[in-house]
């Protein structure tokens, strides 16, 4: 425990308070006192302790992998082989633009992500508004929680539950047949429909939370004032609510778009042969017998740069003031 009665307001290291337990034992040990002495006396040591590990971590594991990927994407051969050249080349990038087999899935992926983002925004906006503004404050948390529970289930489990709903022998088809609407099951699974249905299901949360927190911050008196001045519901929405929730829209859309571009497990399970999107193409270059790392790295770089630029441009054009991740 801290014994403060015998101490002057400011003490040096010679007078260490007594601590109970393991902290006290450590604090009294010579090695600890010596180390901490260095820390207290020198600003440089303090800075090194504070900055060392974080900077090394960020440089090695946040930037390093991407630089290494950029490096390999420019190599003619990787891993280096004795009988082949290992020069730098742009051929891997050229391959992407010359082969429709690679180019088309990429375009499809971008369009798919954009469609998913816009649909999610349209679906989730009224829901977020309802929870933030219409529900009574005391019930708000409960209303939000009901929507959060499915998202704790995890990506694969939710994907699987979508399969159960949409498969040929899945719940929807079984029900439709039992009521006599159809004779033969409607093939819903392994199409773009099932893929979008599933991916929206997976990502709606990333839209819901930013939108909710942005809409909740809009002062309700502003909306009432607009109504008193004669603005109808549509006008209130367009002139007051929408501009004030712009931050939430921007961060929600960015998050959903970036995740939808790189979504991986869901297309493998929900998409069919007609819905091959870019992540699958990249993955096959790294796995299996055709080990084409340089091409795969180049394609990944293209995807990374294009998706980040798209989001950057979007932010600049729509002009959200600050984009928060959480």
Partner 1 sequence: MRNYFNDLPKSALGASYWIFAVYLVLPLALMTAMSFKDANFIAFPIGNWTLSWYSKVVQDKQFLEASLYSIGIALATTVSATIIGVWIALLVSAENIWGKAVIFALACLPAVVPGLINAISMRIFIRAVDIPTGTFAIILAHTVHAVPFVVIMVLTRLRSMPANLVDAARDLGADPFIAFLRVTIPYLMPALFGGMIFCVLTSIDDFVRTFFLGGYQPTLPMLIFAKVQGGMSPEINAMATIVLVVTTAIGLYAEHFTRRSRS
* Of residues 82-121, those binding partner 1 (CB under 8 A): none
| Alpha-carbon span 160 to 156, nearest angstrom | 6
Subset of residues 299 to 318 that bind partner 1, contact rule: CB under 8 A:
300, 303-304, 307-308, 311
CA dist 226 and 293 (Å) reads 58
Inter-helix orientation angle 293-318/91-98, to 10°: 70
CB-nearer residue toward partner 1: 89 or 259: 259
Q: Which residue from 201, 191, 188 is spatially nearest to 156, judged by alpha carbons?
A: 201
Q: Interaction with partner 1 in 138-177: which residues (CB under 8 A)?
A: 141, 143, 145-150, 152-165, 167, 169-171, 174-175
Q: What is the rounded distance in angstroms from the CA atom of residue 11 to the CA atom of residue 1?
A: 17
Q: What character string, x for contact with partner 1 (CB under 8 A) and - otherwise, covers 245-284?
A: ---------x---xx-xxxxx--xx---------x--xx-
61 belongs to the binding site for partner 1 (CB under 8 A): yes
Of 94, 107, 118, 123, the one binding partner 1 (CB under 8 A) is 123
Should residue 57 be labelled a site residue for partner 1 when binding is judged by CB under 8 A? yes
Query: Which of 74, 75, 124, 249 lies at the binding interface for partner 1 (CB under 8 A)?
Result: 124
* Helix pair angle (192-217, 100-129), 10° resolution: 40
Which residue among 195, 199, 204, 226 contacts partner 1 (CB under 8 A)?
A: 204
Q: Which residues from 6-45 bind partner 1, rule CB under 8 A?
A: 7, 9-11, 13, 15-17, 19, 23, 27, 36, 39-40
Distance (Å, rounded) from C-alpha 26 to C-alpha 183?
A: 77
**Residue 116 and residue 256 in contact, taking contact as beta carbons nearer than 8 Å:** yes
Q: Do residues 149 and 158 make contact, with C-beta atoms less than 8 angstroms apart?
A: no
Structure-token pair, residue 317: 């054009």
Site for partner 1 contains 193 (CB under 8 A): no
Min CB(73)–partner 1 separation in Å: 9
């Amino acid at each position: 425990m801290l014994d403060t009665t015998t101490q002057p307001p400011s003490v040096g290291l010679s007078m260490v308070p007594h601590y109970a337990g393991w902290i006290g034992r450590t604090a009294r040990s010579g090695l600890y006192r010596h180390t901490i002495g260095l820390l207290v006396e020198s600003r440089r040591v303090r800075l090194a302790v504070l900055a060392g590990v974080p900077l090394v971590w960020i440089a090695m594991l946040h930037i390093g992998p991407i630089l290494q990927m950029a490096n390999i994407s420019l190599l003619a051969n990787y891993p280096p082989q004795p009988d082949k050249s290992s020069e730098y080349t742009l051929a891997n990038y050229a391959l992407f633009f010359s082969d429709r087999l690679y180019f088309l899935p990429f375009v499809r992926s971008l369009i798919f992500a954009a469609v998913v983002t816009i649909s999610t925004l349209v679906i989730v906006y009224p829901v977020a508004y309802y929870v933030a503004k219409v529900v009574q404050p005391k019930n708000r948390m409960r209303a939000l929680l009901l929507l959060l529970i499915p998202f704790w289930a995890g990506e694969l489990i939710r994907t699987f539950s979508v399969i159960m709903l949409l498969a040929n022998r899945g719940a929807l088809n079984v029900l439709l047949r039992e009521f006599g609407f159809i004779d033969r099951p409607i093939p819903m699974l392994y199409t773009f429909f099932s893929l979008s249905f599933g991916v929206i299901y997976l990502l709606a949360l990333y839209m819901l939370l930013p939108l909710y927190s942005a809409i909740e911050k809009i002062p309700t008196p502003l909306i009432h004032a607009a109504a008193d001045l004669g603005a109808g519901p549509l006008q209130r929405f367009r002139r007051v609510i929408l501009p004030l929730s712009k931050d939430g829209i921007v961060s929600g859309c960015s998050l959903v778009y970036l995740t939808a571009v790189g979504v991986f497990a869901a297309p493998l399970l929900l998409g069919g042969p007609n819905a091959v999107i870019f992540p699958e193409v990249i993955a096959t270059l790294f796995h299996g017998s055709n080990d084409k790392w340089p091409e795969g790295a180049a394609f990944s770089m293209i995807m990374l740069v294009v998706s980040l630029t798209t989001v950057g441009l979007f932010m600049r054009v729509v002009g959200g003031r600050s984009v928060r991740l959480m």
